[in-house]
Amino acid sequence: MSKIVPVIMAGGTGSRLWPLSRESFPKQFLSIDDSGLSLLQQTLVRLENASNLEIAAPLVICNEEHRFLVAEQLREIGQLGTNIILEPMGRNTAPAVALAAHLAAEEAFDGMLLVLAADHLITKVSDFHEAINTATQFATEDRLVTFGIIPQHPETGYGYIRRGDSLSRECFKVDAFVEKPCLEKAKEYIASGDYSWNSGMFMFKTEKFLSELEKFSPEIYQTTKKSVMESQRDMNFIRVEQETFQCCPSDSIDYAVMEKTQDAVVIPIDAGWSDVGSWSSLWDVSAKDHSGNVNVGEVISIDSNNNYISSDSALVATIGLHDMVVVTTSDAVLIATKDKVQEVKKIVEELKKRNLHHFRHHSASYRPWGKICDIDSGTHFQVKKIIVRPGEGLSVQRHLHRAEHWVVVSGAAKVNVDDKEFILSENQSTFIPAGSVHTLENPGKIDLEIIEVRSGHYLEEDDIERLQDRYGRV
């Protein structure tokens, strides 16, 4: 059986799950259920232990801003290699998949590509595996397979696929891809039984996809091929050549290939799928208590029904609350009726207008050596928790406007301040004056955790001058 390379598109910056989802930490990187895994991690983990499927190492496509976040999440599930493709800018799904296909072809890979979004939820994993098995059979015959979701209700937020002639009990020729309909048209689609929701998931042979792409969208084919030929490897990242790629047309797989090829087929599936497009859709697919509530975190509900309540910080208590969404984070609270959660994007737009950080920044940010978590802040101070993985270290740096106080709470730290090197153990601390050249390493075998207190009149992240850096960020 041919190997299958998962191609995971993780470049979105959606805001419909604000305040959990932010531009710097969008929904594909969130853990939204009790699995403890992010949607990206679940996308990869659900392919494990699939019978009769030979799954190769994945290729994950993301933007520059999220590269260390993606790398950390892949490392946590043991799937990190030089397998993260960095798009210089977004060009929609056809160029993104073309990059992965050219990379596979460059490495003489002649198997299948399984194209998946990083932010979808699938609860019926065995049914999903069965659909992939079926898709493999038809992809081997040079078909371009798309997975259609058997609709559960009339939905105006999705595109649809109309199926044509039957090739088997599970697979049909694609008759047409249909844009998002009005409600009345969506009802007609459901009643006919001939339509599936367009999931944006695909499977095809590498060479077949590239052949059809070259035939129907030659400019995308040529620019992405050249971008890959001139790409560079950098740690875990494949850096696509920017000048060439920015000339690439922006187009979806549907428009660039699937609507034009004669070989598109659709496999309708019922796999407990959701694109987690809103808080209400997340309530739809989540496990509920006897009152219809979905409670995440510390929640007490009295005489409350059919709510989605999530807290990543404080205790949330409700009395007499019905059909509501309540989401709290360390710096924001959302309260909305379930039928109005699509309006969350208006809040994000207002945050942008007011130039408030809440639309963009998350309390945790990732670095190649670990991560930084916000704890508290004021006019002239910030308190952070810094986590450095074993064997990793910060750049040699200095700050002109802020001083830092480090307190080790777990592990051991090798510190160098103005060429004076020393080791700090748990409960020990040091002070770094503004202007001092300093660095920090973790020489131990467990994560190093320190509390950093920044003080000064300017505390922003751009007050950093990197003098040396093992990760090439100077």
Task: Look at residue 51 and tell me whether its pLDDT is greater than 60.
Answer: yes
Tokens of 16: 């419909």
pLDDT in tens, 309-331: 999 878 999 999 999 999 998 88
pLDDT in tens, 112-124: 999 999 999 998 9
Per DSSP, the residues of 166-204 read: ESSSS-EEEEEEEPPPPHHHHHHHHHHT-EEEEEEEEEE
State mean pLDDT over 322-344.
Answer: 93
Task: Look at residue 1 and tell me whether its pLDDT is greater than 60.
Answer: no
101 vs 455: CA distance, rounded Å: 49
Contact between 294 and 308 (Cβ < 8 Å): yes
Tell me which of 313 and 180 has the higher pLDDT. Answer: 180
Q: What is the pLDDT of residue 36?
A: 84
pLDDT in tens, 140-171: 999 999 999 999 889 888 999 999 999 999 99
- Residues 4-274, CATH architecture: Alpha-Beta Complex (3.90)
Neighbour-count burial of 195, counting CB atoms closer than 10 A to its CB (0-12 exposed, 13-18 middle, 19+ buried)? buried
Q: What is the pLDDT of residue 366?
A: 85
Q: What DSSP element (H or E) covers 293? A: none
State mean pLDDT over 8-28.
Answer: 88
Task: Give the class (CATH, top level) of 364-468.
Answer: mainly beta
Distance between terminal CA atoms of the chain? Answer: 46
Domain coordinates in residue numbering, the chain: 4-274, 284-353, 364-468
Percent of the chain with pLDDT over 70: 99
pLDDT in tens, 248-265: 999 999 999 999 999 999
State mean pLDDT over 176-185.
Answer: 94
Task: Look at residue 100 and tell me whether its pLDDT is greater than 70.
Answer: yes
Q: What is the pLDDT of residue 108?
A: 67
Q: What is the pLDDT of residue 50?
A: 81
Query: Which positions ≥6 away from 216 have C-beta within 8 Å?
Result: 256, 257, 260, 261
